[in-house]
Structure 1
Amino acid sequence: MLQKILCVDDDPITLMLYKMVIAKSSFTEEIITAKNGQEALDYYDNLNVANDFCCPELVFLDLNMPVMGGWEFLDNFNQSEYDQFNKKTKVIVLSSTIDPNDIEKSKKYPMVIDFMSKPITKEMLEGLKERL
């Protein structure tokens, strides 16, 4: 079981469903949510200010969000100022469409370990438990 994960998605219903499926799967002890990439970066910035390096081990990241989308989040999170986090945190990109170009683009980011189709399912989480 993971200690902490972060779910980043602009749809509150999707976030609620993720929390339910993740909780039922005993996948993590704590689930943090953010409505967009900027909120996710702000979360990491707050951890940094508090000198709290107990960051999420896994991020489920949507691509298409207002304010800051998933690609912008990854571009920022890949910067050296987030090294204390991005070296420990793995990212799974979740998308409602599986575009081969997006899959290839996601491979440019060292923290991205997979590109999966929405929604999160119990079976998906069982497979991830074995890999992580």
Structure 2
Amino acid sequence: MLFTKSTAYALQALIELSKYDKPIDVTTISEKTAIPKPFLAKLLQNLSRNGFVYSFKGINGGFVLAKNPKEIKLLDIFKNIEDKDTLVFYCSKSKDDCTRNRGSICELQPFFEKMEDEIAIILDKYTLADFIRN
């Protein structure tokens, strides 16, 4: 599967945050997106550590986008949340790095490598702004 629930939730949360100029708390984002609050809190902390959102503590605290939605690429979100190099299939980008030591006999690896490259190109074209309704 290309996108896990984590990536889908991260996208939903970022889209929700794009609607506000001020920090929005986890409870509000959870209510508006129907994302479970504990799961959302972990995702937002991850996004904060990696520069997608700013986190503010205190009574008026919460999260706010750290960048313009036009600068947040879908590929970057995916790589951050999924924390892996492959997008679709758990297959090495090189026959020499095959995790099962079968690279020299694998007939599928060239296909998956090409598919990975093409999907990365597509994901790199889209930004968060492409998913925000006006």
Q: Same fold (TM over 0.5)?
A: no
The answer to which structure has the higher helix fraction is 2
The answer to which structure has the higher strand fraction is 1
Q: Work out which of the two has the higher radius of gyration on C-alpha atoms and give 1 or 2.
A: 2
Per the normalisation by structure 1, the TM-score is 0.28
